[in-house]
Structure 1
Amino acid sequence: MGRYVLRRLLQLIPVFFGATLLIYALVWAVPGDPFAGKCGERACPDSYVQFMTEKYHLDDPWPVQYVYYMGHLLTGDFGQTFGGREISEIIAQAYPNTLKLALMGLLIEGVIGLTAGILTGLRRNGFLDNLVLVSTLFLLAIPTFVSGFLLQFVLGTQFRIIDPTVAEGAPFWDYLVPGFVLASISMAYVARLTRTSIAENSRSDYVRTAVAKGLPQRRVVGVHLLRNSLIPVITFLGTDLGSLMGGAIVTEGIFSINGIGREVYRAIVTKESATVVGIVVVLVMVYLLMNLLVDLLYAALDPRIRYE
């Protein structure tokens, strides 16, 4: 196990540098003047533009800029915005809010999606099965911004069950409705994926053998059927944490959550490329670590999988 983890960690290194290189190249290719609007309605003085260009190495080719950036990043320095604010400070302020939102969404899609998928997978073609299939199709058909504004208006404005916006430093449970909005589509995928996986594995030879041996139904389902059926679901849930964090920009805008999605949007509008790259680098690290965790969970779910 230790050798496998070390090998996987070493494999993450080229993936990390490749992903950051691609992100930096894409951000650098965005057209526009990074100093537009920095000096109000008037154009910035040439001395200011020259000073900022030299400070941030903007006159160098983008591969050279990337080398400078990674050299500072590996020492823990995410750089500064054109206004002089530390990007690490922006991430430290916005990241916890997005993490709460994403974890709440992951919890909702895991609990509700898995429960619905397991029940419908074990009792196919019944009323509950048809109800879940129709409900998940309904969730998949509704865009996130529609469900977000609808729940905000009904629960927050009309019935005043929740606050229409999430305040800074709000407790974890205040993210319940925003988390449901964020995870609604993924929850539908989890329910359908779990149902399909259980339906396929229930016809497997090892399940039939367990039933033929006279094992209790609870043991057949819990030990033999469910553990093997959860492998594709765990894969989806593990990688979905990064997707929820990266795709939270709409939900954060609806509920006025000061998260990394809003910060990325502001940075793109104001041409703060260093801020965009710094935030996306953090998301890349989340993706890589979650993929490693999912790989390690495979052995716990399926005893046939062994790491050497």
Structure 2
Amino acid sequence: MGRYVLRRLLQLIPVFIGTTFIIYALIWALPGDPFAGRCGDRPCPPAYIAEMTEKYNLNDPVIVQYFKYLGQILTGDFGETFAGIEVNQLVADAYPITLRLAIVALAFAALIGIGAGILTGLRGRGFMDNLVLMSTLFLISLPVFVTGFILQVVLGTELGIITPSVSSRATWGELIVPGFVLGSTSMAYVARLTRTSLMENKRADYVRTAVAKGLEPKRVVGVHLLRNSLIPVITFLGTELGALMGGAIVTEGIFNIRGIGGLVYKAILTKEGTTVVGIVTLLVLVYLLMNLLVDLLYAVLDPRIRYD
């Protein structure tokens, strides 16, 4: 297991360099003046442009710029915005909020999605199966901003159960409804994926053998059937955490959540390339580490999988 983890960590290095270089090149290699509009209606003074160009290494080729930036990242320095604000500070303020929102969304997707999938997968076709399939199809086809707007109006404005806008503290309780909105589509996919996997594995030879040996139904389902059926679900949920964090722009905008999504959106509008690259680089790290964790969980769920 240790050799496998070490090998996977080494494999993550070229993947990290390749993805972050593409991101960096897409942001900084775009044509146009990156300092346009920085000085109001008048053009920026040549001295200011020269200073900022030197500070961000814009005179160097893109590959040289990237490796200089990579060296900063390895020391924990994600750079500064054009206004002189450290990106580390911006991320430190916004990242915990988005992380809490993503965890709430992932919890809804896992608990409700897996629960509904198990319920329909074990009972087979019938009223409950049709109800879950229709409900999940409805959630998948409904855009997230529509779901968020409806819940915001109904639960917030009409019924007064929640506050329409999340406060700057963004407590766990305030993030329940936004987390449900963010995780609604993932929840539907998890339910369908769990249902399909269970129905396929119910006919597997190892399940028939366990039943023929006289094992209790709870043990057959919990130890044999469910553990193997959850492998594709765990794969989906593991990669979905990074997607939920990076795709929370709409949900954070609806509920006025000051997280990573809003920070990226504002940085794109103001052409703050350093902020965009820093945040996306952080999300790439989350993706890579979650993929490694998912691979390690395979051996826990399926005893047939062993990493030598």
TM-score by length of 2: 0.98
Q: 2:22 is aligned with what amino acid?
A: L
Q: Kindly state the Cα deviation for residue 203 of structure 1 after the two structures are TM-superposed.
A: 0.4
Q: Kindly state the Cα deviation for residue 173 of structure 1 after the two structures are TM-superposed.
A: 2.1
| Greater mean alpha carbon deviation, residues 157-166 or residues 195-204 | 157-166
Matching residue of 1:43 = 43
Matched ranges for 1:1-308 at <5 A: 1-308=1-308
Q: 2:178 is aligned with what amino acid?
A: P
- SS of the equivalent of 2:44 reads coil
Q: 1:155 is aligned with what amino acid?
A: L
Number of matched pairs: 308
| Greater mean alpha carbon deviation, residues 254-263 or residues 32-41 | 32-41
- SS of the equivalent of 2:165 reads coil
- SS of the equivalent of 1:173 reads coil
Q: Kindly state the Cα deviation for residue 48 of structure 1 after the two structures are TM-superposed.
A: 1.1
Distance 2:48 2:57 in 1: 14
Distance 1:212 1:115 in 2: 27
Q: Is the 8 A contact 1:34 1:270 kept in 2?
A: no
Query: CA offsets, 1:122-161, max 9 Å, x none?
Result: 0111111110000000001100111111111111111110
Q: Kindly state the Cα deviation for residue 33 of structure 1 after the two structures are TM-superposed.
A: 2.4
Q: 1:259 is aligned with what amino acid?
A: G
Q: 1:18 is aligned with what amino acid?
A: G
Q: Is the 8 A contact 2:16 2:285 kept in 1?
A: yes
Q: Kindly state the Cα deviation for residue 99 of structure 1 after the two structures are TM-superposed.
A: 0.2
- SS of the equivalent of 1:41 reads coil
Distance 2:243 2:225 in 1: 28
Q: Is the 8 A contact 2:148 2:178 kept in 1?
A: yes
Q: Is the 8 A contact 2:29 2:62 kept in 1?
A: no
Structure 1: give runs of 5+ residues left out of the alignment. Answer: none
Distance 2:85 2:210 in 1: 62
Distance 2:237 2:109 in 1: 8
Distance 1:182 1:130 in 2: 24
Q: 1:202 is aligned with what amino acid?
A: K
Q: Kindly state the Cα deviation for residue 31 of structure 1 after the two structures are TM-superposed.
A: 3.9
Q: Is the 8 A contact 2:170 2:257 kept in 1?
A: no
Q: Is the 8 A contact 2:97 2:258 kept in 1?
A: yes
Q: Kindly state the Cα deviation for residue 80 of structure 1 after the two structures are TM-superposed.
A: 0.4
Identity of aligned residues (%): 70
Query: CA offsets, 1:235-270, max 9 Å, x none?
Result: 000010000000000001001111111111111111
Distance 1:36 1:159 in 2: 47
Distance 2:151 2:289 in 1: 33
- SS of the equivalent of 2:199 reads helix
Q: Kindly state the Cα deviation for residue 50 of structure 1 after the two structures are TM-superposed.
A: 1.4
Q: Is the 8 A contact 1:144 1:182 kept in 2?
A: yes
Q: Kindly state the Cα deviation for residue 174 of structure 1 after the two structures are TM-superposed.
A: 1.3
- Residue 8 and residue 271 in structure 1: after superposition, are their counterparts in 2 closer, same or farther (change >3 A)? same
Q: Kindly state the Cα deviation for residue 61 of structure 1 after the two structures are TM-superposed.
A: 1.7
Q: Kindly state the Cα deviation for residue 29 of structure 1 after the two structures are TM-superposed.
A: 3.5
Distance 2:290 2:173 in 1: 24
Distance 1:135 1:70 in 2: 46
Q: Kindly state the Cα deviation for residue 163 of structure 1 after the two structures are TM-superposed.
A: 0.8
Query: CA offsets, 1:75-115, max 9 Å, x none?
Result: 11111001000000000000001000000000000000000
- Residue 181 and residue 30 in structure 1: after superposition, are their counterparts in 2 closer, same or farther (change >3 A)? farther
| Greater mean alpha carbon deviation, residues 262-271 or residues 297-306 | 262-271
Q: Is the 8 A contact 1:104 1:176 kept in 2?
A: yes
Q: 2:112 is aligned with what amino acid?
A: I
Distance 2:181 2:59 in 1: 43
Q: Kindly state the Cα deviation for residue 181 of structure 1 after the two structures are TM-superposed.
A: 0.6
Structure 2: give runs of 5+ residues left out of the alignment. Answer: none
Distance 1:61 1:78 in 2: 19
